[in-house]
């Protein structure tokens, strides 16, 4: 899961704005189930002309503060434990102090309010739990989540940031979410990571979304309901975001908004997620 393509946008932004050097690659033939996630190929007239090779790699990104390591690519379908052990070897051999995962999750929140982030880590003190909207829940496992869990068990600091993406924008690229993730990674690592390009793209997306909302009273009412819900939660800390029975469910909100966007033809269908469920810095 990578709502708003937040993790993928973080990767493309960091690679575009920093000099990089390939450190290691993983054998995706050992990790990928090609039949469940088929890489795209291009066919022109009478022949195949292009194949998008799946990749899982570790790059070194140079920064003024010494640089960070960026693990990115497809999420492993197979051999999660061996993958985690391989990353552990890298962490210990290169002296990595902290690993940080990032991705986006869809939430019933409006795009007109400050972006929230759910933080998680392998020990107390790594993250601030104040203001978390989650208690104890069971979620589907992922290679990224297992990696964080195993690293903690092996005595290494590992943490992650899940940025909250408005449910109705989860299938579109949402640069504002990626910008917030980059800021969080910068604070944790101490690296100066510029977000100017992401902020510029975020402003363009916000302007387009606002324009479409202004053209539809129905969609405007949906967003207003989310804003009221968000504001009520902020005023009464500790109350569930889903407490109000008068507010539509996230699925209902998403269906209404996505139907409107589909009519406008301005939001592309969700593309295959090359970033898996998150990225690691």
CB 115 within 8 A of CB 178: no
Domain boundaries, the chain: 3-196+271-280, 200-264
pLDDT at 8: 96
The residue with tokens 């990626």 is 178
In residues, how long is the chain? 281
Task: Provide the residue-wise pLDDT of the chain in tens; the chain has 281 residues.
Answer: 899 999 999 999 999 999 999 999 999 999 999 999 999 999 999 999 999 999 999 999 998 878 899 999 999 999 999 999 999 999 999 999 999 999 999 999 999 999 999 999 999 888 876 556 667 888 889 999 999 999 999 999 999 999 999 999 999 999 999 999 999 999 998 899 999 999 999 999 999 999 999 999 998 998 999 999 888 888 875 544 444 445 555 566 556 556 555 554 544 443 334 444 566 77
Alpha-carbon gap, residue 150 to 125, rounded angstroms: 18
CATH of domain 3-196+271-280: 3.40.50.10900
229-264 burial, b at 16+ Cβ within 10 Å, e below that, comes to: bbeebeeeeeeebeeeeebbebeebbebbbebbeee
Q: What DSSP character marks residue 168?
A: G
Task: Report whether 74 contacts 32 (CB < 8 A).
Answer: yes
- Give the Cα separation of 281 and 158 in Å (integer): 10
């Amino acid at each position: 899961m990578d709502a708003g393509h937040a993790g993928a946008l973080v990767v493309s932004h960091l690679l575009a704005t920093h000099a990089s050097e390939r450190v290691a690659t993983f054998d995706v033939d050992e990790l990928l189930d090609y039949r469940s996630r088929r890489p795209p190929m291009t066919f022109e007239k009478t022949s195949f002309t292009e194949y998008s090779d799946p990749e899982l790699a570790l790059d070194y990104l140079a920064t003024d503060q010494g640089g960070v390591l960026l693990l990115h690519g497809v999420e492993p379908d197979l051999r999660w434990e061996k993958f985690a052990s391989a990353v552990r070897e890298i962490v210990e051999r290169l002296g990595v102090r902290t690993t940080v995962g990032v991705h986006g999750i869809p939430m019933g929140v409006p795009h007109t309010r400050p972006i929230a982030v759910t933080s998680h880590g392998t020990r107390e003190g790594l993250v601030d739990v104040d203001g978390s909207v989650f208690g104890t829940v069971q979620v589907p496992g992922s290679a990224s989540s297992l990696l964080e869990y195993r690293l903690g068990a092996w005595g290494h600091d590992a943490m992650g940031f899940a940025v909250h993406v408005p449910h109705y924008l989860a299938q579109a690229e949402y640069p504002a979410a990626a910008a917030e993730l980059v800021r969080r990674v910068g604070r944790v690592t101490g690296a100066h990571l510029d977000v100017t390009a992401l902020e510029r793209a975020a402003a363009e997306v916000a302007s387009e979304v606002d324009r479409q909302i202004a053209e539809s009273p129905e969609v405007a009412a949906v967003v207003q309901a989310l804003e009221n819900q968000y504001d009520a939660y902020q005023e009464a800390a500790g109350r569930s975001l889903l407490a109000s029975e008068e507010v539509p469910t996230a699925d209902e909100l998403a269906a209404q908004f996505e139907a409107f966007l589909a009519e406008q033809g301005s939001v592309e269908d969700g593309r295959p997620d090359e970033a898996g469920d998150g990225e690691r810095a």
